Amino acid sequence: MEEQDDNSNLAWFLAGAVIGAAVALLYAPKSGKDTRRYLSSSTKDGREAMEAGGRELMDRGKEIYDRGKQIAEDAADLFERGRKLVQG
């Protein structure tokens, strides 16, 4: 009996999906060609935005790395100076 309920639920789900897809196609505000053009344009814009964001993130990361490296070098220099003063 449980298997029959599962099959019935699956059938209703599939029927709803088919009906939903048909309604979406009937009431689509644009033609298929226009929709494909819109999706292509949106995808291109999204890709360009991701590339720009990635470049900006890399630049910021490089700046932070360079600053950290300079701080570490300065700290090492100060440590060495202090060691020389103590050994004096």
pLDDT tens by residue, 33-58: 887 787 788 888 888 888 888 888 89
Q: Report in angstroms the alpha-carbon separations of 11 from 5, 14, 37.
A: 10, 5, 34
The pLDDT of residue 81 is 93
Q: Which residues contact 30 (CB under 8 A, 6 or more apart)?
A: 38
Residue 73: pLDDT band (50, 70, 90) is: very high
Q: Is the pTM of this model over 0.75?
A: no
Please state the domain extents for the chain: 1-29, 31-88
